[in-house]
Chains A and B, each alone.
Chain A
């Protein structure tokens, strides 16, 4: 590892920016949906608690959007600054989704701005709520477009490579490649999940701290049920992604599962370590599970790593990322499930005990870690390619010798941004308690239903 190697440094810097950005991007995609849910319930039932919920979520959301816009701008520009050769060549095939993403972002930015400043401005309360529809469509479709570009890098098609230049480009074919459906839906579903989990954690944390107001209980219920639904959807789509990998990107799945010999009835390996001879040790083996994951039948033949030339195999460490991500995903379904079943569990009598609240708080870190690991797995699993099968990472990077300095600068920037963001968010909500805000909003005393 050398500090003056622009390729390595570019990889680290891009990875770092995305590492920060995807947290905020996931919240950006998911939270408008949650805000809409709360506001809709509030208007429909006339319950001011839900309206306040939407308001408080929206206020926190603005801060995360501000930082998200910034890191998004950074990655948008860094693509050209750090990977000029990649953009020069691949830009001929994939400029379309990137271009469309900026439009989606425009729409989101405009309507979010309007939403935030028009509480109480319309007589018909549904009008205000409707502003969230273009906001959510904007954020979700921007996730759609940008992920389809990433899908292209995994599953390039819609062009011919001639003398190092993409010719005969069919932009729509490139955009709607086989990786797009699973990748995009997985990203969107997991963004919704992360956002719901974050809100679960906030509500559960307040209850743990002894703030017993019914507002928090309602918040908790709404968020937990949503997170359960979204997490199940994410898992189902994750299963489709496994089948996709088996068919189109078998080396990634094989590397994730340490699956060396092509065979039927392949077992799924959980945990463990690899010794020098690539023998798996101390792992839990689930018979047939990999074949089932790959093709819904224990007799599916799963292609092994030995079929691929060594220089085209992704790092085998992605196994751990895959395992951990799936583990987290399972927890994201289990914990909300326990909460939802609590009335039937003997001894609980419908109350939410402390240990369950602690578990619910844990949903947020679990979900964020799962998202990060999922991206690590997807991106590192594509190595050594930047455009799989066509362009290696080393061919796409900048030749500028200054990347390490920029890396240092950005590390500092992101540290400052993240720390200050958390501080401001914390302060914002401590400054005004829910009770005070309800007083301000509904001075005549609250009417709850």
Chain B
């Protein structure tokens, strides 16, 4: 494999990591708020909090890692995306800021009851951020970012009137809720919390339908937006079929209330197949026709240094993440809430 392919695969994998972790996080924020509104607060709120608390900081890092890595490996993408995304990017920063900060205030700062305004902020940003972030995928297909007379411009009119933009936003919204509900059902089940499980299982099943519809819709919109990419996707058709099979399996298991761990693994596989299939067929472009992984790659010495740093960092990161998961995600005593919940 060439450095270019390894580089983009590493980045794509981190973005995949972000997709899963952030979806759980974003969706959980929304469900947490929703449960307060519908009077289910005491049934699901604590399960959600217990999962979120130790991991909220880690989520952000995946995103930054991707951004810095992208610029490291493909410096020209900074020029195109950086210039074009000033406004949407700044708005995403603000949403992320509001979300993270008010989460921390609510969890550590205020008394145990929580603050409805903070929770509303948390829930709303949980849906807005994925919607905003996903639009970068629409931009990457080309036709929306243009370079004119040495200036990079984002054509807002085309951006907003483009059905593909909206299909991506829709897909992001529903899959966030779906991934999150699937995970939380598993988590609640493990915690032995039957009431929370029933509610969360309901959410998971409700959101599974729209997820698959939105996926199919987005799939065919790519054909209109970028036929070349769509043709490439057809060459990797087996990946999308595998994704569908995993989806069916995951929903079936949740419906039958069996093997929920496996069900979530199937959800992860479902998105992995679709994500890598989409990414693979997008190559060689990072931004259609402007940034190409081969022509806009960084110099070789930097590439080797980055990959070496990545390898070293990865060897530190994986055991740490495993430790985090063993202490909190897969520790029955902690999940059931027998361990002290807070640092206070």
Residues of A within 8 A of B (CB): 55, 58-59, 62-63, 65-67, 69-74, 76-78, 80-85, 87-89, 91-93, 95-96, 98-103, 105-107, 109-121, 134, 166-172, 398-400, 402-403, 405-406, 409-410, 413, 417, 420-421, 424-425, 427-428, 431
Please tell me if B152 contacts chain A, counting CB pairs below 8 Å. Answer: yes
Quick check: A400 and B104 within 8 Å, CB to CB? no
Which one of B81, B306, B343 contacts A58 once the chains associate, using CB atoms below 8 Å?
B343
Known contacts A70-B97, A80-B67, A113-B58; is A99 also within 8 Å of B299 by CB?
Answer: no
Q: How far is the CA of A186 from the CA of B286 in the complex (A)?
A: 39
Q: How far is the CA of A82 from the CA of B84 in the complex (A)?
A: 10
Known contacts A62-B108, A76-B67, A106-B58; is A87 also within 8 Å of B75 by CB?
Answer: yes
Q: For B39, list chain A residues within 8 Å (CB).
A: none
Quick check: A109 and B57 within 8 Å, CB to CB? yes
Known contacts A80-B67, A100-B313; is A134 also within 8 Å of B343 by CB?
Answer: no
Minimum CB–CB distance from A427 to chain B (whole Å) comes to 7
Per-position binary interface string of chain B over residues 312-328, scored 1 when its CB falls under 8 Å from any chain A CB and 0 otherwise: 11001100110110011
Q: For B111, list chain A residues within 8 Å (CB).
A: 431
Q: For A83, list chain B residues within 8 Å (CB).
A: 82
Known contacts A81-B85, A84-B78, A425-B109; is A96 also within 8 Å of B306 by CB?
Answer: yes
Question: Which of B86-94, B228-236, B259-267, B277-285 lies at the binding interface?
Answer: B86-94
Additional pairs, 13, CB under 8 Å, beyond known A65-B57, A399-B152, A424-B105: A70-B96, A73-B97, A77-B93, A78-B90, A82-B86, A83-B82, A92-B75, A95-B298, A96-B305, A99-B72, A105-B64, A107-B317, A417-B101
Quick check: B78 and A63 within 8 Å, CB to CB? no
Please tell me if B76 contacts chain A, counting CB pairs below 8 Å. Answer: yes
User: Would you call the interface of chain B mostly helix, strand, loop, or mixed?
Assistant: helix
Minimum CB–CB distance from A74 to chain B (whole Å) comes to 5
A-B pairs under 8 A by CB, number: 233
Known contacts A81-B85, A96-B309, A169-B301; is A91 also within 8 Å of B55 by CB?
Answer: no
Please tell me if B158 contacts chain A, counting CB pairs below 8 Å. Answer: no
Quick check: A95 and B72 within 8 Å, CB to CB? yes
Measured CB to CB, the nearest residue on chain A to B331 is A121
Tell me which residues from 89 to 118 in chain B have a Cβ below 8 Å from any Cβ of chain A: 89-94, 96-98, 100-101, 103-105, 108-111
Minimum CB–CB distance from A315 to chain B (whole Å) comes to 27
Q: How far is the CA of A101 from the CA of B313 in the complex (A)?
A: 10
Q: How far is the CA of A77 from the CA of B69 in the complex (A)?
A: 12
Of A74, A93, A121, A400, chain B has the most CB atoms within 10 Å of the CB of A400
Quick check: A87 and B306 within 8 Å, CB to CB? no
Q: For A99, list chain B residues within 8 Å (CB).
A: 68-69, 72, 306, 309-310
> What are 20 A-B pairs with beta-carbon distances under 8 A?
A55-B343, A66-B100, A66-B103, A88-B78, A91-B78, A92-B75, A96-B72, A99-B69, A99-B306, A100-B309, A103-B312, A107-B320, A109-B60, A117-B342, A118-B327, A168-B299, A406-B90, A424-B110, A425-B109, A431-B111
Please tell me if B161 contacts chain A, counting CB pairs below 8 Å. Answer: no
Quick check: B67 and A111 within 8 Å, CB to CB? no
Measured CB to CB, the nearest residue on chain B to A431 is B111
Q: For A166, list chain B residues within 8 Å (CB).
A: 299
Q: For B151, list chain A residues within 8 Å (CB).
A: 399
Known contacts A76-B67, A406-B86; is A96 also within 8 Å of B343 by CB?
Answer: no
Measured CB to CB, the nearest residue on chain B to A166 is B299
Q: For B85, list chain A residues within 8 Å (CB).
A: 81
Minimum CB–CB distance from B10 to chain A (whole Å) comes to 10
Quick check: B86 and A398 within 8 Å, CB to CB? yes
